């Protein structure tokens, strides 16, 4: 019989915090992507999605310490850097959104905001997964 691997008890609370934060971040990232002009329905404006993501980044910036533990320190540092990078790319994405309705241009600008977050938080999730026993 196979036994499901579990995190050490000392990491349960930090992982729960991490998971809750990722859930909120993923919701904001998804909302941003839904603002891109694809399909027949007019989406919400891209700046609305960027504002939502910026608000979420600002909230997480003040909460990230809740899952900081030595076992995933590098992943945590990478997430801090990703939040800063994404926040720094938002003004450029907003400028593109104000000037263009072309999907390719908007997608490039939005990806510059979104990609660092997806990468860093995905790596953090894998760092926690490697600690399961």
Q: What is the maximum alpha-carbon separation in the chain?
A: 59
- pLDDT tens for 113-125 read 999 999 999 999 9
Rounded to the nearest angstrom, the gap between the alpha carbon of residue 108 and the centroid of all alpha carbons in its chain is 17
Report the chain's mean pLDDT, rounded to a whole number: 95
Rounded to the nearest angstrom, the gap between the alpha carbon of residue 92 and the centroid of all alpha carbons in its chain is 18
- pLDDT tens for 28-49 read 999 999 999 987 788 899 999 9
The answer to whether 117 and 29 are in contact (CB under 8 A) is yes
Q: What percent of the chain has pLDDT over 90?
A: 89
Measured distance CA(28)–CA(132) in Å, rounded: 28
pLDDT of 41: 80
Indicate the pLDDT class of residue 94, thresholds 50, 70 and 90. Answer: very high
Task: For residue 32, give the nearest of 49, 45, 47 by alpha carbon.
Answer: 49
* Domain ranges, ordered by start, for the chain: 9-130
pLDDT of 38: 85
* Sign of the Cα pseudo-torsion (67, 73, 77, 82, in order): negative
- Rg of the chain's alpha carbons, rounded to an integer? 17
Q: What share of the chain is helix, strand, coil (3-state, %, to 5)?
A: 75, 0, 25
Average pLDDT over residues 80-107: 96
| DSSP letter (8 states) at residue 43 | P
Fold of 9-130: 1.20.120
Average pLDDT over residues 59-75: 98
Kindly report the pTM of this predicted structure.
0.93
pLDDT at 4 over 90: no
């Amino acid at each position: 019989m196979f036994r499901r691997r579990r995190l050490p008890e000392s990491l349960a609370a930090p992982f729960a915090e991490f998971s809750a934060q990722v859930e909120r971040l993923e919701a904001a990232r998804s909302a941003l992507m839904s603002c891109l002009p694809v399909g027949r329905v007019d989406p919400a404006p891209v700046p609305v999605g960027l504002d939502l993501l910026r608000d979420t980044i600002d909230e997480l910036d003040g909460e990230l310490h809740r899952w900081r533990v030595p076992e995933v320190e590098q992943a945590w540092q990478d997430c801090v850097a990703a939040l800063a990078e994404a926040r720094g790319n938002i003004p450029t994405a907003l400028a593109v959104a104000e000037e263009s309705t072309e999907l390719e241009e908007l997608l490039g600008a939005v990806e510059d905001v979104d990609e660092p977050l997806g990468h860093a938080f995905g790596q953090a999730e894998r760092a926690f997964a490697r600690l399961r026993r």
